[in-house]
Chain A
Amino acid sequence: MIKFENVIKKYNYQRALDGINLQVHRGEFVSLVGVSGAGKSTLLKLIIGEEIIDGGKIFIDDIDIAQVKKTDLPYLRRKIGMVFQDIKLLPRRTAFENVAFAMEVCGHRLDKIKIEVPKILDLVGLLHKQNSFPNEMSGGEKQRVAIARALSHRPVLLLADEPTGNLDEVNAAEVLDLLMKINQLGTTVILATHASDLVNKIKKRVITIEGGKITIEQQKGKYKL
Protein backbone atom coordinates (compact mmCIF):
# COMPACT_ATOMS: atom_id res chain seq x y z
CA MET A 1 0.00 0.00 0.00
CA ILE A 2 2.86 2.38 0.75
CA LYS A 3 6.15 2.12 -1.04
CA PHE A 4 9.26 4.24 -0.45
CA GLU A 5 11.89 4.01 -3.17
CA ASN A 6 15.26 5.45 -2.24
CA VAL A 7 13.62 8.48 -0.64
CA ILE A 8 15.80 11.46 0.21
CA LYS A 9 14.70 14.51 2.18
CA LYS A 10 17.04 17.40 2.97
CA TYR A 11 16.68 20.28 5.38
CA ASN A 12 19.26 22.99 4.65
CA TYR A 13 21.53 20.57 2.80
CA GLN A 14 21.40 18.08 5.70
CA ARG A 15 19.84 14.77 4.86
CA ALA A 16 16.99 14.07 7.24
CA LEU A 17 16.14 10.95 5.25
CA ASP A 18 18.89 9.30 3.30
CA GLY A 19 17.81 6.61 0.85
CA ILE A 20 14.78 5.06 2.54
CA ASN A 21 13.40 1.88 0.96
CA LEU A 22 10.28 0.63 2.65
CA GLN A 23 7.07 -1.16 1.90
CA VAL A 24 3.99 -1.27 4.10
CA HIS A 25 1.15 -3.60 3.22
CA ARG A 26 -2.53 -3.12 3.74
CA GLY A 27 -3.65 -4.02 7.25
CA GLU A 28 -0.17 -3.96 8.74
CA PHE A 29 0.82 -2.41 12.06
CA VAL A 30 4.28 -0.94 11.70
CA SER A 31 6.28 0.67 14.48
CA LEU A 32 8.84 3.21 13.42
CA VAL A 33 11.41 3.62 16.15
CA GLY A 34 14.45 5.77 16.67
CA VAL A 35 15.73 8.60 18.82
CA SER A 36 14.39 12.12 18.42
CA GLY A 37 15.64 13.62 15.17
CA ALA A 38 16.22 10.24 13.52
CA GLY A 39 13.73 11.12 10.77
CA LYS A 40 10.52 9.39 11.93
CA SER A 41 8.33 12.50 11.81
CA THR A 42 9.79 13.55 8.47
CA LEU A 43 8.86 10.18 7.04
CA LEU A 44 5.24 10.56 8.17
CA LYS A 45 5.02 14.14 6.90
CA LEU A 46 6.15 12.96 3.47
CA ILE A 47 3.29 10.48 3.34
CA ILE A 48 0.61 13.18 3.81
CA GLY A 49 2.37 15.54 1.44
CA GLU A 50 3.17 18.04 4.17
CA GLU A 51 6.81 17.98 3.08
CA ILE A 52 8.14 17.50 -0.43
CA ILE A 53 10.79 14.88 -1.19
CA ASP A 54 14.16 15.83 -2.65
CA GLY A 55 14.86 12.46 -4.25
CA GLY A 56 13.35 9.03 -4.86
CA LYS A 57 9.67 8.17 -5.00
CA ILE A 58 6.76 7.50 -2.66
CA PHE A 59 3.73 5.55 -3.83
CA ILE A 60 0.42 5.24 -2.03
CA ASP A 61 -1.72 2.61 -3.74
CA ASP A 62 0.43 3.06 -6.87
CA ILE A 63 -0.10 6.83 -6.87
CA ASP A 64 3.14 8.78 -7.02
CA ILE A 65 2.80 11.45 -4.33
CA ALA A 66 5.03 13.87 -6.21
CA GLN A 67 2.48 13.77 -9.05
CA VAL A 68 -0.47 14.69 -6.80
CA LYS A 69 -1.53 18.27 -7.52
CA LYS A 70 -1.49 20.69 -4.60
CA THR A 71 -5.23 21.15 -4.94
CA ASP A 72 -5.75 17.39 -4.70
CA LEU A 73 -3.69 16.95 -1.55
CA PRO A 74 -6.73 17.54 0.72
CA TYR A 75 -8.43 14.53 -0.86
CA LEU A 76 -5.34 12.41 -0.20
CA ARG A 77 -5.36 13.58 3.41
CA ARG A 78 -8.95 12.46 3.82
CA LYS A 79 -7.76 8.91 3.15
CA ILE A 80 -5.05 9.22 5.80
CA GLY A 81 -5.70 9.96 9.46
CA MET A 82 -2.97 11.47 11.55
CA VAL A 83 -2.45 12.00 15.29
CA PHE A 84 0.30 13.97 16.99
CA GLN A 85 2.21 14.20 20.22
CA ASP A 86 0.69 17.65 20.91
CA ILE A 87 -2.81 16.29 20.13
CA LYS A 88 -4.06 19.54 18.46
CA LEU A 89 -7.65 19.60 19.71
CA LEU A 90 -9.58 22.86 19.54
CA PRO A 91 -9.79 23.99 23.18
CA ARG A 92 -13.12 25.78 22.89
CA ARG A 93 -14.94 22.86 21.34
CA THR A 94 -16.26 19.73 23.01
CA ALA A 95 -15.11 16.23 22.13
CA PHE A 96 -18.15 15.87 19.88
CA GLU A 97 -17.52 19.22 18.18
CA ASN A 98 -13.85 18.46 17.63
CA VAL A 99 -14.69 15.29 15.74
CA ALA A 100 -17.62 16.94 13.97
CA PHE A 101 -15.31 19.77 12.87
CA ALA A 102 -13.21 17.41 10.80
CA MET A 103 -16.32 16.11 9.07
CA GLU A 104 -17.76 19.59 8.58
CA VAL A 105 -14.72 20.98 6.79
CA CYS A 106 -14.85 18.09 4.37
CA GLY A 107 -18.42 18.86 3.42
CA HIS A 108 -20.37 16.13 5.23
CA ARG A 109 -24.03 16.80 5.88
CA LEU A 110 -25.13 17.64 9.40
CA ASP A 111 -27.49 14.67 9.75
CA LYS A 112 -24.67 12.31 8.76
CA ILE A 113 -22.33 13.99 11.25
CA LYS A 114 -24.88 13.56 14.04
CA ILE A 115 -25.04 9.83 13.36
CA GLU A 116 -21.36 9.19 12.70
CA VAL A 117 -19.65 11.14 15.48
CA PRO A 118 -21.24 9.23 18.40
CA LYS A 119 -20.32 5.96 16.65
CA ILE A 120 -16.69 6.99 16.37
CA LEU A 121 -16.57 8.30 19.93
CA ASP A 122 -18.05 5.01 21.05
CA LEU A 123 -15.30 3.18 19.18
CA VAL A 124 -12.62 5.05 21.11
CA GLY A 125 -14.62 4.54 24.31
CA LEU A 126 -15.46 8.17 24.96
CA LEU A 127 -19.15 8.42 24.17
CA HIS A 128 -19.81 9.44 27.77
CA LYS A 129 -17.38 12.34 27.39
CA GLN A 130 -18.80 13.73 24.16
CA ASN A 131 -19.84 17.00 25.76
CA SER A 132 -16.58 17.51 27.67
CA PHE A 133 -14.10 20.16 26.68
CA PRO A 134 -10.43 19.20 26.24
CA ASN A 135 -9.44 20.77 29.56
CA GLU A 136 -11.94 18.49 31.31
CA MET A 137 -10.28 15.33 30.00
CA SER A 138 -7.10 13.42 30.81
CA GLY A 139 -4.19 13.37 28.35
CA GLY A 140 -5.09 9.88 27.21
CA GLU A 141 -8.73 10.80 26.68
CA LYS A 142 -7.72 13.83 24.66
CA GLN A 143 -5.48 11.71 22.47
CA ARG A 144 -8.33 9.25 21.98
CA VAL A 145 -10.55 12.14 20.84
CA ALA A 146 -7.81 13.09 18.40
CA ILE A 147 -7.76 9.50 17.16
CA ALA A 148 -11.54 9.63 16.78
CA ARG A 149 -11.14 12.80 14.73
CA ALA A 150 -8.52 11.10 12.55
CA LEU A 151 -10.92 8.19 12.02
CA SER A 152 -13.88 10.38 11.05
CA HIS A 153 -13.16 10.05 7.33
CA ARG A 154 -12.77 6.27 7.69
CA PRO A 155 -9.15 6.46 6.54
CA VAL A 156 -7.35 3.45 5.12
CA LEU A 157 -4.18 4.51 6.88
CA LEU A 158 -3.57 5.96 10.33
CA LEU A 159 -0.30 7.72 11.07
CA ALA A 160 0.56 8.28 14.73
CA ASP A 161 3.50 10.55 15.49
CA GLU A 162 4.59 9.99 19.12
CA PRO A 163 0.97 9.77 20.26
CA THR A 164 2.00 8.74 23.75
CA GLY A 165 4.88 11.18 24.07
CA ASN A 166 3.19 13.34 26.67
CA LEU A 167 1.26 10.61 28.45
CA ASP A 168 1.90 8.57 31.58
CA GLU A 169 2.11 4.78 31.45
CA VAL A 170 -1.58 4.05 32.02
CA ASN A 171 -2.77 6.61 29.51
CA ALA A 172 -0.14 5.51 27.00
CA ALA A 173 -1.31 1.91 27.30
CA GLU A 174 -4.90 3.02 26.67
CA VAL A 175 -3.93 4.83 23.51
CA LEU A 176 -1.81 1.93 22.30
CA ASP A 177 -4.64 -0.54 22.90
CA LEU A 178 -6.91 1.68 20.87
CA LEU A 179 -4.43 1.83 17.97
CA MET A 180 -4.20 -1.95 17.97
CA LYS A 181 -7.97 -2.26 18.03
CA ILE A 182 -8.25 0.08 15.05
CA ASN A 183 -5.65 -2.00 13.24
CA GLN A 184 -7.63 -5.15 13.93
CA LEU A 185 -10.66 -3.48 12.35
CA GLY A 186 -8.66 -3.22 9.13
CA THR A 187 -6.91 0.13 9.15
CA THR A 188 -3.20 0.17 8.41
CA VAL A 189 -1.32 1.85 11.27
CA ILE A 190 2.13 3.37 11.28
CA LEU A 191 3.29 4.34 14.75
CA ALA A 192 6.37 6.49 15.21
CA THR A 193 7.75 6.40 18.74
CA HIS A 194 10.83 6.28 20.89
CA ALA A 195 9.08 4.49 23.75
CA SER A 196 10.75 1.09 23.84
CA ASP A 197 8.39 -0.63 26.28
CA LEU A 198 5.39 0.15 24.09
CA VAL A 199 6.99 -1.34 21.02
CA ASN A 200 8.05 -4.44 22.84
CA LYS A 201 4.50 -4.96 24.02
CA ILE A 202 2.99 -4.85 20.52
CA LYS A 203 5.10 -7.65 19.03
CA LYS A 204 4.57 -6.50 15.48
CA ARG A 205 6.82 -5.30 12.68
CA VAL A 206 9.48 -2.84 13.88
CA ILE A 207 11.57 -0.59 11.69
CA THR A 208 14.48 1.21 13.29
CA ILE A 209 15.68 4.49 11.84
CA GLU A 210 19.04 6.03 12.69
CA GLY A 211 20.44 9.18 11.11
CA GLY A 212 17.88 9.10 8.32
CA LYS A 213 18.54 5.47 7.37
CA ILE A 214 16.73 2.23 8.11
CA THR A 215 19.17 0.20 10.17
CA ILE A 216 17.14 -2.74 11.45
CA GLU A 217 13.92 -4.37 10.20
CA GLN A 218 12.17 -7.09 12.17
CA GLN A 219 8.85 -8.78 11.40
CA LYS A 220 7.99 -9.43 15.06
CA GLY A 221 10.52 -7.25 16.63
CA LYS A 222 11.71 -5.62 19.72
CA TYR A 223 13.10 -2.17 20.24
CA LYS A 224 16.85 -2.45 19.78
CA LEU A 225 18.71 0.74 20.43
Chain B
Amino acid sequence: MFDSISFLRIIKTGVTNFVRNLWLSMAATMVMTITLVIFSTLFLLFVLTNYSINTIQNTVDISVYFKIGLAEEQINTIKTEVSQDSKVKEVTYVSASQAFDEFKAKHENDQLITQSLNELNENPLPATLHIKANDLEDYPVVAEKMQSEQYADFIDKVNFEDNRLIIERLNKVLNFIITFGLALFAVFVLIAVLVIYNTITLTIYNRKEEVEIMRLVGATNWYIRGPFLTESMMYSIFSTIITGLLFIPVFTKVIPAVTNYVSPDVSLYNNSVFNYAYLLLILFGLSVVLSVSSTLFAIRKYLKI
Protein backbone atom coordinates (compact mmCIF):
# COMPACT_ATOMS: atom_id res chain seq x y z
CA MET B 1 0.00 0.00 0.00
CA PHE B 2 2.86 2.40 0.81
CA ASP B 3 6.44 2.78 -0.13
CA SER B 4 8.89 2.68 2.75
CA ILE B 5 9.33 6.48 2.93
CA SER B 6 5.61 7.07 3.35
CA PHE B 7 5.44 4.27 5.88
CA LEU B 8 8.23 5.80 7.96
CA ARG B 9 6.62 9.24 7.73
CA ILE B 10 3.30 7.83 8.92
CA ILE B 11 5.00 6.18 11.91
CA LYS B 12 6.91 9.38 12.66
CA THR B 13 3.77 11.52 12.57
CA GLY B 14 1.96 9.00 14.75
CA VAL B 15 4.75 9.08 17.34
CA THR B 16 4.77 12.90 17.23
CA ASN B 17 1.01 12.93 17.87
CA PHE B 18 1.48 10.57 20.80
CA VAL B 19 4.18 12.77 22.33
CA ARG B 20 2.35 16.05 21.70
CA ASN B 21 -0.64 14.89 23.73
CA LEU B 22 1.53 13.06 26.22
CA TRP B 23 -0.85 13.28 29.18
CA LEU B 24 -3.79 12.10 27.16
CA SER B 25 -1.75 9.37 25.55
CA MET B 26 -0.62 8.23 28.98
CA ALA B 27 -4.18 8.20 30.26
CA ALA B 28 -5.27 6.11 27.28
CA THR B 29 -2.35 3.74 27.84
CA MET B 30 -3.15 3.44 31.55
CA VAL B 31 -6.80 2.63 30.99
CA MET B 32 -5.82 0.05 28.41
CA THR B 33 -3.28 -1.37 30.88
CA ILE B 34 -5.92 -1.70 33.60
CA THR B 35 -8.18 -3.50 31.15
CA LEU B 36 -5.38 -5.88 30.22
CA VAL B 37 -4.47 -6.50 33.88
CA ILE B 38 -8.08 -7.37 34.65
CA PHE B 39 -8.18 -9.65 31.64
CA SER B 40 -4.92 -11.39 32.58
CA THR B 41 -5.97 -11.83 36.22
CA LEU B 42 -9.25 -13.27 35.10
CA PHE B 43 -7.63 -15.51 32.57
CA LEU B 44 -5.03 -16.85 35.00
CA LEU B 45 -7.56 -17.37 37.80
CA PHE B 46 -9.77 -19.22 35.40
CA VAL B 47 -7.00 -21.47 34.15
CA LEU B 48 -5.61 -22.11 37.65
CA THR B 49 -9.00 -22.93 39.16
CA ASN B 50 -9.89 -25.10 36.25
CA TYR B 51 -6.58 -26.88 36.53
CA SER B 52 -7.04 -27.41 40.26
CA ILE B 53 -10.48 -28.86 39.76
CA ASN B 54 -9.24 -31.25 37.12
CA THR B 55 -6.27 -32.32 39.20
CA ILE B 56 -8.36 -32.95 42.29
CA GLN B 57 -10.94 -34.77 40.22
CA ASN B 58 -8.20 -37.04 38.96
CA THR B 59 -7.05 -37.91 42.47
CA VAL B 60 -10.49 -39.12 43.50
CA ASP B 61 -10.76 -42.91 43.47
CA ILE B 62 -12.19 -45.84 45.37
CA SER B 63 -9.78 -48.32 46.84
CA VAL B 64 -11.15 -51.76 47.47
CA TYR B 65 -9.03 -53.96 49.79
CA PHE B 66 -9.65 -57.68 49.48
CA LYS B 67 -9.40 -60.06 52.38
CA ILE B 68 -5.93 -61.48 52.70
CA GLY B 69 -5.43 -64.75 50.98
CA LEU B 70 -8.44 -64.45 48.70
CA ALA B 71 -8.11 -66.53 45.57
CA GLU B 72 -6.89 -64.77 42.48
CA GLU B 73 -9.82 -66.23 40.51
CA GLN B 74 -12.36 -64.74 42.82
CA ILE B 75 -10.65 -61.38 42.56
CA ASN B 76 -10.73 -61.55 38.78
CA THR B 77 -14.45 -62.32 38.80
CA ILE B 78 -15.13 -59.29 40.96
CA LYS B 79 -12.85 -57.16 38.83
CA THR B 80 -14.75 -58.16 35.69
CA GLU B 81 -18.05 -57.50 37.37
CA VAL B 82 -16.96 -54.05 38.46
CA SER B 83 -15.55 -53.17 35.04
CA GLN B 84 -18.88 -53.97 33.45
CA ASP B 85 -20.65 -51.38 35.55
CA SER B 86 -21.55 -48.50 33.28
CA LYS B 87 -20.63 -45.97 35.95
CA VAL B 88 -17.07 -47.25 36.16
CA LYS B 89 -14.45 -45.77 33.93
CA GLU B 90 -11.36 -47.65 34.90
CA VAL B 91 -10.32 -50.43 37.22
CA THR B 92 -6.72 -51.07 38.19
CA TYR B 93 -5.75 -54.23 40.00
CA VAL B 94 -2.80 -54.30 42.32
CA SER B 95 -2.05 -57.80 43.53
CA ALA B 96 -0.85 -58.44 47.05
CA SER B 97 2.71 -59.17 45.92
CA GLN B 98 2.76 -56.08 43.73
CA ALA B 99 1.58 -54.00 46.65
CA PHE B 100 4.27 -55.57 48.80
CA ASP B 101 7.00 -54.83 46.25
CA GLU B 102 5.84 -51.27 45.85
CA PHE B 103 5.76 -50.80 49.57
CA LYS B 104 9.23 -52.20 49.90
CA ALA B 105 10.57 -50.02 47.09
CA LYS B 106 9.00 -46.94 48.59
CA HIS B 107 10.63 -47.53 51.99
CA GLU B 108 13.88 -49.09 50.94
CA ASN B 109 15.82 -46.34 52.66
CA ASP B 110 13.97 -46.78 55.91
CA GLN B 111 15.95 -49.38 57.84
CA LEU B 112 13.34 -49.95 60.49
CA ILE B 113 10.62 -50.80 58.03
CA THR B 114 12.89 -52.94 55.87
CA GLN B 115 13.96 -54.92 58.90
CA SER B 116 10.39 -55.41 60.10
CA LEU B 117 9.33 -56.58 56.67
CA ASN B 118 12.14 -59.11 56.55
CA GLU B 119 10.94 -60.61 59.77
CA LEU B 120 7.49 -61.24 58.38
CA ASN B 121 6.77 -64.67 56.96
CA GLU B 122 3.86 -63.69 54.82
CA ASN B 123 2.68 -60.67 52.97
CA PRO B 124 0.62 -58.49 55.28
CA LEU B 125 -0.73 -56.35 52.45
CA PRO B 126 -4.04 -57.05 50.76
CA ALA B 127 -4.74 -57.13 47.04
CA THR B 128 -6.40 -53.92 45.93
CA LEU B 129 -8.70 -52.61 43.22
CA HIS B 130 -8.50 -48.93 42.34
CA ILE B 131 -11.75 -47.78 40.75
CA LYS B 132 -12.33 -44.60 38.84
CA ALA B 133 -15.88 -43.60 38.03
CA ASN B 134 -17.06 -41.78 34.94
CA ASP B 135 -18.69 -38.98 36.82
CA LEU B 136 -17.97 -37.38 40.15
CA GLU B 137 -21.53 -38.12 41.26
CA ASP B 138 -21.04 -41.83 40.59
CA TYR B 139 -18.37 -42.39 43.25
CA PRO B 140 -20.69 -42.69 46.27
CA VAL B 141 -22.93 -45.07 44.35
CA VAL B 142 -20.04 -47.31 43.30
CA ALA B 143 -18.52 -47.16 46.77
CA GLU B 144 -21.82 -48.20 48.31
CA LYS B 145 -22.18 -51.09 45.93
CA MET B 146 -18.74 -52.39 46.89
CA GLN B 147 -19.71 -52.22 50.51
CA SER B 148 -22.94 -54.17 50.00
CA GLU B 149 -23.72 -57.73 51.26
CA GLN B 150 -22.91 -59.14 47.87
CA TYR B 151 -19.18 -58.62 48.38
CA ALA B 152 -19.05 -58.73 52.17
CA ASP B 153 -17.34 -62.13 52.17
CA PHE B 154 -14.46 -61.07 49.94
CA ILE B 155 -13.84 -57.50 50.69
CA ASP B 156 -12.20 -56.33 53.81
CA LYS B 157 -12.47 -52.57 53.42
CA VAL B 158 -13.62 -49.95 50.94
CA ASN B 159 -11.79 -46.66 51.09
CA PHE B 160 -13.34 -43.68 49.40
CA GLU B 161 -11.91 -40.24 49.87
CA ASP B 162 -14.70 -37.82 49.21
CA ASN B 163 -13.24 -34.68 47.61
CA ARG B 164 -16.56 -33.58 46.26
CA LEU B 165 -16.90 -30.77 48.77
CA ILE B 166 -13.62 -29.18 47.70
CA ILE B 167 -14.51 -29.58 44.06
CA GLU B 168 -17.92 -28.05 44.61
CA ARG B 169 -16.32 -25.07 46.32
CA LEU B 170 -13.83 -24.64 43.54
CA ASN B 171 -16.63 -24.77 41.02
CA LYS B 172 -18.38 -22.00 42.90
CA VAL B 173 -15.20 -19.94 42.83
CA LEU B 174 -14.90 -20.59 39.13
CA ASN B 175 -18.47 -19.44 38.51
CA PHE B 176 -17.87 -16.32 40.54
CA ILE B 177 -14.71 -15.56 38.60
CA ILE B 178 -16.53 -15.97 35.34
CA THR B 179 -19.56 -13.80 36.17
CA PHE B 180 -17.99 -11.08 38.27
CA GLY B 181 -14.78 -11.03 36.25
CA LEU B 182 -16.52 -10.80 32.92
CA ALA B 183 -18.73 -7.95 34.18
CA LEU B 184 -15.70 -6.01 35.43
CA PHE B 185 -13.85 -6.75 32.22
CA ALA B 186 -16.78 -5.53 30.12
CA VAL B 187 -16.93 -2.27 32.06
CA PHE B 188 -13.24 -1.61 31.52
CA VAL B 189 -13.39 -2.55 27.88
CA LEU B 190 -16.07 0.09 27.50
CA ILE B 191 -14.02 2.68 29.40
CA ALA B 192 -10.90 1.91 27.36
CA VAL B 193 -12.78 2.16 24.09
CA LEU B 194 -14.33 5.48 25.10
CA VAL B 195 -11.08 7.00 26.34
CA ILE B 196 -9.19 6.00 23.20
CA TYR B 197 -12.05 7.18 21.03
CA ASN B 198 -11.94 10.58 22.72
CA THR B 199 -8.16 10.83 22.61
CA ILE B 200 -8.06 10.11 18.90
CA THR B 201 -10.95 12.52 18.31
CA LEU B 202 -8.94 15.21 20.06
CA THR B 203 -5.88 14.44 17.96
CA ILE B 204 -8.00 14.64 14.84
CA TYR B 205 -9.33 17.99 16.02
CA ASN B 206 -5.82 19.28 16.75
CA ARG B 207 -4.64 18.28 13.33
CA LYS B 208 -7.68 19.52 11.43
CA GLU B 209 -5.76 22.08 9.38
CA GLU B 210 -2.98 19.67 8.58
CA VAL B 211 -5.45 16.99 7.49
CA GLU B 212 -7.30 19.46 5.26
CA ILE B 213 -4.08 20.53 3.57
CA MET B 214 -2.91 16.94 3.20
CA ARG B 215 -6.14 16.13 1.45
CA LEU B 216 -5.90 19.12 -0.87
CA VAL B 217 -2.32 18.44 -1.92
CA GLY B 218 -3.19 14.86 -2.70
CA ALA B 219 -2.20 12.68 0.25
CA THR B 220 -3.81 9.26 0.00
CA ASN B 221 -6.54 8.40 2.49
CA TRP B 222 -4.44 5.79 4.25
CA TYR B 223 -1.57 8.23 4.52
CA ILE B 224 -3.92 10.56 6.40
CA ARG B 225 -5.39 7.80 8.58
CA GLY B 226 -2.07 6.07 9.23
CA PRO B 227 -0.73 8.34 11.99
CA PHE B 228 -3.92 7.96 14.03
CA LEU B 229 -3.69 4.19 13.74
CA THR B 230 0.00 4.36 14.67
CA GLU B 231 -0.92 6.35 17.76
CA SER B 232 -3.48 3.77 18.83
CA MET B 233 -1.02 0.95 18.15
CA MET B 234 1.34 2.69 20.57
CA TYR B 235 -1.29 2.48 23.30
CA SER B 236 -1.50 -1.24 22.59
CA ILE B 237 2.25 -1.79 22.60
CA PHE B 238 2.90 0.16 25.79
CA SER B 239 -0.03 -1.29 27.70
CA THR B 240 1.00 -4.81 26.72
CA ILE B 241 4.57 -4.17 27.86
CA ILE B 242 3.45 -2.69 31.20
CA THR B 243 1.00 -5.53 31.84
CA GLY B 244 3.66 -8.04 30.84
CA LEU B 245 6.11 -6.56 33.35
CA LEU B 246 3.48 -6.54 36.10
CA PHE B 247 2.80 -10.23 35.53
CA ILE B 248 6.40 -11.45 35.63
CA PRO B 249 6.24 -12.05 39.43
CA VAL B 250 2.95 -13.87 38.99
CA PHE B 251 4.55 -16.22 36.51
CA THR B 252 7.79 -16.76 38.42
CA LYS B 253 6.34 -16.98 41.95
CA VAL B 254 2.58 -17.32 42.24
CA ILE B 255 1.83 -19.87 39.55
CA PRO B 256 4.62 -22.30 40.50
CA ALA B 257 3.53 -22.04 44.15
CA VAL B 258 -0.09 -22.81 43.36
CA THR B 259 0.63 -25.67 40.97
CA ASN B 260 3.13 -27.10 43.39
CA TYR B 261 0.48 -27.06 46.11
CA VAL B 262 -2.16 -28.68 43.95
CA SER B 263 0.02 -31.29 42.29
CA PRO B 264 3.61 -31.49 43.42
CA ASP B 265 4.63 -33.82 40.60
CA VAL B 266 3.47 -31.82 37.61
CA SER B 267 4.79 -28.39 36.81
CA LEU B 268 2.08 -26.31 35.23
CA TYR B 269 4.57 -23.58 34.61
CA ASN B 270 6.13 -25.57 31.82
CA ASN B 271 2.77 -26.25 30.30
CA SER B 272 2.28 -24.55 26.95
CA VAL B 273 -1.11 -23.17 28.01
CA PHE B 274 0.68 -21.23 30.67
CA ASN B 275 3.32 -19.92 28.44
CA TYR B 276 4.10 -16.34 29.28
CA ALA B 277 4.69 -15.37 25.66
CA TYR B 278 1.36 -16.88 24.79
CA LEU B 279 -0.39 -14.62 27.29
CA LEU B 280 1.49 -11.57 25.96
CA LEU B 281 0.37 -12.42 22.48
CA ILE B 282 -3.25 -12.67 23.59
CA LEU B 283 -2.93 -9.36 25.46
CA PHE B 284 -1.42 -7.62 22.46
CA GLY B 285 -4.09 -9.01 20.17
CA LEU B 286 -6.83 -7.91 22.53
CA SER B 287 -5.45 -4.40 22.96
CA VAL B 288 -4.93 -3.97 19.23
CA VAL B 289 -8.51 -5.01 18.54
CA LEU B 290 -9.81 -2.58 21.17
CA SER B 291 -7.68 0.44 20.30
CA VAL B 292 -7.73 0.07 16.54
CA SER B 293 -11.49 -0.44 16.42
CA SER B 294 -12.15 2.62 18.60
CA THR B 295 -9.72 4.61 16.46
CA LEU B 296 -11.47 3.51 13.30
CA PHE B 297 -14.79 4.61 14.82
CA ALA B 298 -13.33 8.03 15.64
CA ILE B 299 -11.81 8.34 12.16
CA ARG B 300 -15.08 7.39 10.56
CA LYS B 301 -16.98 9.95 12.56
CA TYR B 302 -14.60 12.90 12.65
CA LEU B 303 -11.96 12.56 9.96
CA LYS B 304 -13.47 14.02 6.84
CA ILE B 305 -11.56 12.54 3.94
Contacts and interface: CB of A to CB of B under 8 A. Distances in A.
Interface in B223-277: 223
Contact of A75 (B5, B9, B218): B218
Interface in A102-157: 102, 104-110, 149-150, 152-153
Q: Which of B213, B216, B220, B221 has the most CB of A within 10 A?
A: B216
B213 A153 contact: no
Interface in B1-46: 2-3, 5-6, 9
B217 A153 contact: yes
B113 interface: no
Nearest to A104: B9
A48 B221 CA distance: 15
Given A71-B221, A105-B223, A88 B216 contact: yes
Contacts of B6: 107
Nearest to B220: A74
A102 to B, nearest CB: 4
A107 B5 contact: yes
Nearest to B210: A90
Nearest to B7: A107
A88 B218 contact: no
A15 interface: no
A88 B212 CA distance: 9
B209 interface: yes
B221 A102 contact: no
Given A102-B213, A105-B223, A78 B218 contact: yes
B219 interface: yes
B209 A149 contact: no
Given A74-B215, A107-B223, 11 more contacts: A71-B220, A71-B221, A74-B218, A75-B218, A88-B212, A88-B216, A102-B217, A105-B214, A107-B6, A108-B5, A110-B5
Interface string A44-79: 000010000000000000000000001100111110
Contacts, number: 52
A77 B2 contact: no
Interface residues of B, number: 18
B221 A88 contact: no
Given A107-B2, A107-B6, A109-B5, A101 B213 contact: yes
Interface in B184-226: 209-210, 212-221, 223
Contacts of B214: 105
Contact of B217 (A70, A71, A105, A109): A105
26 contacts: A48-B216, A71-B221, A74-B219, A74-B221, A76-B218, A77-B215, A77-B216, A82-B216, A88-B216, A90-B210, A101-B213, A102-B213, A104-B9, A105-B214, A105-B219, A105-B223, A106-B217, A106-B218, A106-B219, A107-B2, A107-B3, A107-B5, A107-B223, A149-B217, A152-B217, A153-B217
Of all A-B residue pairs in the complex, the 6 with the closest CB atoms, nearest first, are: A77-B218, A78-B218, A105-B219, A102-B217, A74-B218, A107-B6
A150 B283 CA distance: 45
A89 to B, nearest CB: 8
Contacts of A152: 217
A88 B213 contact: yes
A92 to B, nearest CB: 10
Contacts of A106: 217-219
Nearest to A110: B5
Contacts of B209: 88, 90
Contacts of A88: 209, 212-213, 216
Contacts of A71: 220-221
Most chain B CB inside 10 Å of its own CB: which residue of A76, A105, A109, A153? A105
